[in-house]
Amino acid sequence: MAHIAATAPQDTGPGPVHAASAGPASRRSPNRHTYGALDLGTNNCRLLVARPNENGFVVLDAFSRVVRLGEGLAGCGRISDAAIDRALAALSVCADKLCRRRVSISRSVATEACRRAVNGREFVERVYRETGIALDIIPPEEEARLAMLGCHRLLEPGDGPALIFDIGGGSTELVLIDTDGAEPKIKSWWSAPWGVVSLTESEGRDFADANARLAAYSRMRERVRHAFRRFAELLPKDKENIRLLGTSGTVTTLASVHLALPSYDRRAVDGLKVPADSMRQISRMMSRMSIAERAELPCIGMDRADLVVAGCAILDAIMDIWPAKTLGVADRGIREGILRSLMARDGHKL
C-alpha cells in the first residue's frame, strides 16, 4: 500500500542508536567516536563506517553485497530460507567490520522486505541472535527522510522545486523538497510498493523476443505511473526550473552506461548530471535487450541484468511526472543520511 503525506513527516531524529556496551570505544569522547550505518534493503546489504572531520566525515570502511532478501516475497509473503541465509552471510561480514573498526555508535535499518514479510520480525530477531546487529524496521517516511538527508547536497543550484527519489528493491520513495532555507524541508513524500525486485517479479524475466520485452516494459511503466498518480496530483503545476536527483543502483548503473565506463567508478558517477533524454534512450535500449545481452554490458553483469529493466521503467515513470531536463545522480543515500543524523546528534557540523 502506498503512503502519502501532504506535509513533511515529523523529524523524530535518527531512531534507535546502538553503542558499544564495553571496551575503550564506548568511553571515547563524541569527537572520537567511530560511526556505523547499515542499510539492509530488499536487494542489497550496504554498510559504511566513518569518522567526522572538518569536511563532514571520512569513510573508514564500506561493504556492499546483493542479497535479494525480497526474492519470491510477492508470491509467498515470506522471506525465503535461501534469502535469509544470503542476508545472514552478508550481515556477518558487516558485524565483523563493525567490531574490527571499533564502531562505538551505529544504526542499522531494514526496509520494504522486512516491512512486508510475515516473518520480518522473526528474521530481525534471528539476525540479532546470530550477528549482534539490531535491525530497525523503518517506515517509508523515515526511509524517504534518510535518503534525502544523504544526498540532497548534490542537487543542482537553483530556486525551483526539487524532487529526490530512491528506487529500491521493494519500494520507491519520492520526496518533494523546499530548498529556500539553510536546510531542505520536506514538503511531501510518497512511497510506492514497486522496486526493481517486486516489479520484475510482477512481470517475469524471460520473453520470446524484443517486441515481447518492450511490451512488458510498457506494462511495468504504466503500473508504476498508476502507483504515482495521487502523488503527481500534489506536485506543482508549473514545471519550469525544476530539479531532479536520484539515488539508487538503477541511476548509478545507467549513468555508468551513459559514460561508457569499462568498470564502475564512484568518483565519475556521484554528482554527475545526465540529460534526461539520454536516460530515456538508455532505458529503451535496455528494455529491448535479453538478459544475456544486458549481462555483457560493463557495470551491469549478471547481478543486475534481470532487474535493471524494472528500474528503467520506474525511472521513466518518474521522469514522466517530473520532466526535468537533467537528472542528478547520487551514489549516496540512506547510509549517508544515517551517518549525518548520528553525527549531528553529537553536535558535529556537517
The residue to which cell 553529537 is assigned? 346
Contacts of residue 83, defined as CB under 8 A and 6 or more positions apart, other chains included, come to 67, 68, 69, 70, 71, 72
- Render pLDDT for 100-155 as a digit per residue (tens, 0 to 9): 999 999 999 999 999 999 999 999 999 999 999 999 999 999 999 999 999 999 99
Eight-state DSSP code of residue 107 = E
Nine cell digits for residue 79: 522471506
Of the chain, the percentage scoring pLDDT greater than 90 comes to: 79
pTM for this entry? 0.87
* Residue 6 parent element (H or E): none
Task: Report the alpha-carbon distance of residue 286 to residue 309 in Å, rounded.
Answer: 6
Residues 225-236: pLDDT tens digits?
A: 999 999 999 999
Residue 112 and residue 314: Cα distance in Å, rounded? Answer: 16
- Write the pLDDT tens digit of every residue in 14-52: 455 555 433 344 444 555 799 999 999 999 999 999 999
Place of cell 564502475: 264
Cα 38 to Cα 233: distance, rounded to the nearest angstrom: 34
Confidence class for position 180, pLDDT limits 50, 70, 90? confident
Element (DSSP H or E) covering residue 80? none
| pLDDT tens per residue, range 198-247 | 999 999 887 889 999 999 999 999 999 999 999 999 999 888 889 999 99
**Are 50 and 346 within 8 A, CB to CB?**
no
| Domains of the chain (ranges, CATH numbers) | 12-141+334-345 (3.30.420.40), 150-330 (3.30.420.150)
